[in-house]
Structures are given as C-alpha cells and as structure tokens.
Amino acid sequence: MRRRRVLFIKLSQFRLFLRKCVTAVLFVVALALLILSKADNLLLQKASDMTAAFLSPLIQGMQLPAQILYSGYEKVRDVAFVYSQNKELKQENLQMLMLKNQVRTLEIENALLANLLNYTPPAKASFVTARVVQEEGDGFSHSLMAYIGDTHKVEKGQVVLGAESVVGRVESVSGPYARIILLTDINSRIPVITERTRAQGILAGDNTLSPKLLFTARDADIREGDLILTSGVGGIFPSSLPLGVVRFVNKDQIVIKLLTDVESLEFVKIVSYDAYKTDSEEMKTESKGKL
C-alpha cells in the first residue's frame, strides 16, 4: 500500500511538471511569433522565397503524372472525335456518290427521251426594258404606252413581262413608243394550262383586275391556288410562263388573280423569243403550202 501511494504521488508530480513545460513552450512560441510579427518582413519574405523554391520542384513532380494522364486523355478524345467525323464523312460521301449516279442516270434518260421525241430546247430570250408613260384604263380597254426609244427589237406580238409574270403583249409600235394590251383587256385571249393538272383553257380579260378562265373541260380538276401558265398553243406565247393563280372557283366562272399588279407598273420587259417565233412562222408556212 505504501509503495502504491508513493508511485501515485510521483506520477502526479510528473504530470504537473509536464503541464508546466507545455505551458512554457507555448508561451515561448507565442512570444517568438509576436516578436517575428513586429520584426522586419524582409526576413520572412526571404524565408518564404526559399521555402517556395525548395517546394516548387516537388510540387511540379507531383503534378507531372496528372498532366501526363490528362494529356493522354485529350489525345484519346481527339482520336475518337476524328474517327467519328471520318465515319460520318464516309457516309456522306457514299450518299453523294449515290446521288451523282442518280443524276447521271436521269441525264442519260433525258437525252434518250429528247432524241426519241426530237425535242429542241428553247432558245434564250432577249428583252428590252421600257418605262411606262401612260395608262389607258376605261370601260373599253386596258392598255399601256411604254417608251422604248430608238430600238428596233420591239415588234407586234412580243411578250411583255412585269416584275413576276406576264402582263400582256405588244399591240403596236409607233416610233419610240409601244402600245401594250394587258391581260385584263377585254380583247385579250391567251391559251393557258394549270400547273398541277395541266387542264387547258383560255384566260380572257374583261376590263377588270381579275380575268376569267374560260373553255375548260367540265371534269377539269381546277382548285383555288392553282398556278396558271401559258400553254404555248397558237404560237403567240411560249409555254410555261406564269400568269396568275386561281382566286376562286364556282359553277359559273373561274376567277384568276394575276401575279403582277398591273395598276402599279412603272417598268416592263418586252421579250423577244426569236427562235420560237421563227419556228411558229415556219410551221404556219408549211401548213399553208400543204393546203
């Protein structure tokens, strides 16, 4: 019992001594820090620089594996992206080759059909731009006077175009002026067809802004919005020139809305289809000779 008590006293004294030592060390450290904070910062800066210079190679060495891994990941990702792009380009190239072969096939078929039908492509048209100087709109006629200057290319019967479509034809030429009969004129009669069903008829003016479609077949499939084109029948107008669209259809009449506003024309194009006109005249001459 006595030995145990002596040992317990010694341990208590050792713990007390240890606490005093720790307290003294902490006090010394705090005092040193206080002194350093009041001291010149140049010494601290030098110590910091030396520490950074010593630790920088170590930090770079530790970052090197991560950088290598990231660089390898970037290269692998780039290679995968290039591979996917190359695959898509190969597919697009294959599609382009297929389309190219289809186009070649269509060109060959078109050439064969042209040879079978003895088809001659239409010649290029030449035109003269003329300024509208006078409008004649009353209950008897719808026409324009256009200044053509001293050109000799304008003749009777030539097609007159507006901004978007046919607006009429040349009725007469007098010096530097040409008289143009509009599609709305009561004397205007043009063979036409519908683009969708190729139904034939006659576009007839009635001195209003909405000409009528006449002489169509009873069972013709004509609907609102159908595009009206020249048919080329009669040898005056070439085929497939746009005129207007079907405005509405009923049992009594088919009303057409022209694509070009003939009331606001300032300039017109007078078109000459020389080759087309020559062919028509030759056909008429041959017909007369046979008769």
Kindly state whether residues 202 and 106 are assigned to the same domain: no
**Does a structural domain hold residue 289?**
no
**Does a structural domain hold residue 245?**
yes
What span, in angstroms and rounded, lies between the C-alpha atoms of 192 and 214? 10
Kindly state whether residues 108 and 159 are assigned to the same domain: no
Digitized pLDDT (tens) for each residue of the chain, 291 residues in all: 544 554 555 666 767 777 778 788 777 777 777 666 655 556 666 666 776 677 677 677 777 777 787 787 788 888 888 888 887 887 787 678 667 766 766 776 677 666 656 555 555 678 888 999 988 766 567 899 999 988 778 889 899 998 778 999 999 999 899 999 999 999 999 999 999 999 999 999 998 999 999 999 888 899 999 999 998 887 778 888 899 999 999 888 999 999 999 888 899 999 887 544 444 444 444 444 444
Q: What is the model's pLDDT at position 146?
A: 93
Q: What is the model's pLDDT at position 145?
A: 92
Kindly state whether residues 75 and 161 are assigned to the same domain: no
Kindly state whether residues 139 and 109 are assigned to the same domain: no
Angle at 237 between CA 231 and CA 239, to 5 degrees: 35
CB 133 within 8 A of CB 146: yes
What span, in angstroms and rounded, lies between the C-alpha atoms of 204 and 211? 6
Kindly state whether residues 153 and 210 are assigned to the same domain: yes
Kindly state whether residues 106 and 90 are assigned to the same domain: yes
Kindly state whether residues 115 and 140 are assigned to the same domain: no
Q: What is the model's pLDDT at position 203?
A: 95
Kindly state whether residues 139 and 232 are assigned to the same domain: yes
In degrees to the nearest 10, what's the CA dihedral of 109, 110, 111, 117?
A: 110
- DSSP type of residue 124: P
Closest CA to 257 of 218, 221, 224: 224
Q: What is the model's pLDDT at position 109?
A: 67
Kindly state whether residues 158 and 202 are assigned to the same domain: yes
CB 245 within 8 A of CB 225: yes
Tokens at 222, concatenated: 């004509």
Burial 21-35 (b: 16+ CB within 10 A, else e): eeeeeeeeeeeeeee
Burial 235-267 (b: 16+ CB within 10 A, else e): ebbbeebbbbbbeebeeeebbbbbbbebeebee
Q: Which CATH number covers residue 243?
A: 2.40.10.350
**Does a structural domain hold residue 157?**
yes
What span, in angstroms and rounded, lies between the C-alpha atoms of 225 and 228? 9
Kindly state whether residues 146 and 250 are assigned to the same domain: yes
**Does a structural domain hold residue 91?**
yes
pTM, two decimal places: 0.53
Q: What is the model's pLDDT at position 66?
A: 73
What span, in angstroms and rounded, lies between the C-alpha atoms of 280 and 241? 17
Kindly state whether residues 141 and 259 are assigned to the same domain: yes
Angle at 23 between CA 22 and CA 28, to 5 degrees: 95
Final residue in a domain of this structure, among 90, 119, 148: 119
- DSSP type of residue 200: E
Final residue in a domain of this structure, among 59, 87, 119: 119
Alpha-carbon separation of residue 17 from 12, 24, 31, 284 (angstroms): 9, 11, 21, 137
- The count of domains in the chain is 2
Q: How many helices (H) and strands (E) does the chain have?
A: 3, 12
**Does a structural domain hold residue 4?**
no
Final residue in a domain of this structure, among 102, 119, 136: 119
User: Residue 110 sits in which domain range?
Assistant: 43-119
